[in-house]
Structure 1
């Protein structure tokens, strides 16, 4: 197995054409022909993640958040990002990121949220503007069916019947493992149409209102965005940036463990040694729930 086989697999799961113009996606570090038998997914490349990669002889990290995110004029250990890149180079570990392409892809993070919440008729909050509607195949984990759907940023869909906002927040927290979910708006308000924007989704407030959402679920939003939502009667469910996306790194690892059918003939000779994919076991949410009570 080589790095380019995994890059091609990721391009089928999350086509890079779906990424936002400002994003930094694709193979960010490494040689495409390098071996890639040991692959690790993670949300963010941190010191703990790099240490795990060093200890476990990881060939390729597939991170959701790109490193670097912004252009780097120098790569040295004077900056946190520079030190991480330097350590990866020294270890010979390649790095790939799909970021907003995986957010927006059919079967990507926002689609997984829609499925978890039981939403029907999922559509993009902000459709990708092209001369022709973009369609992509959906292959659910463990499933065999296929369907097509328009592509774009965020998602919205409807519940079978209205539920209190507090129940939506509780269900979202249980699914994502969020330890400190928060809400803007009346917790007893009946919710039928829900918008979803993983990560920092405050910029989707206007789009959610335009399509008639009662509630927008996201990771985090600024104080003034929360005020805007409250003033326009849009409820917000905030599960935390980490919780809103980290679960999808687990499902991505499971999906990559079995290469897409279209890649199997090409990778058969390179896959004699096997492929091992796992989500980082050391990654954690850096925002502590209650650091005072956790002190000995």
Structure 2
């Protein structure tokens, strides 16, 4: 089996790196195309894959194809490659807003498509991806796609109606978390901590807290209550966060993200 990427940007590179590192595909069985030469050369030098400036070359060479271009380029890329896509090929998409029905219309024929939404923590092997297949993908083929995705990410199969929610809660949410880390670090700097050290303390607190949620199975509210001692420092900080509308701000931001995804 051979794997191809149309688009060799940061997300594609993260996917390639994890897939090759975890021996899901060998580097000699991975192909990539990109109109931007520096992107092609970067992944070629990093991973030893085959590269081309011609998308059709990749389509003709592979069994599984990842469309790793930005959403605004999907229609032009599909127009270019659709006559070369074979009935037995698996197509993986990673574009928010591009529904299975929209993709089917653009291909204009029966194509096996798995729509996915990965996120940037894939760059460090800690990604989270939602996946939903169309009606032409068999259970065995979906399982195989999930094995590929697991090379760089945790994977959950979801219904397509939840895909825009995945964009908000996972695809875009690293940006919210980075802002939170940055804000905590700024406060620590204000209190006299060197900035590099402040980032380390803040980031480790976020990583450790996330790990507690995943590994203990406890409700986040219960874990929060465990830190909030009566009349202690933490409950005072929590009171201020509630007063300033942290929960509402996050919910409103995610609602805006979902609306934007639906409009793409």
Q: Could you tell me the TM-score, scaled by structure 2's length? A: 0.30
> What TM-score does the superposition give when structure 1 sets the normalisation length?
0.28
Q: Greater RCO between the two (CA within 8 Å, min separation 6)?
A: 1
More helix as a share of residues: 2
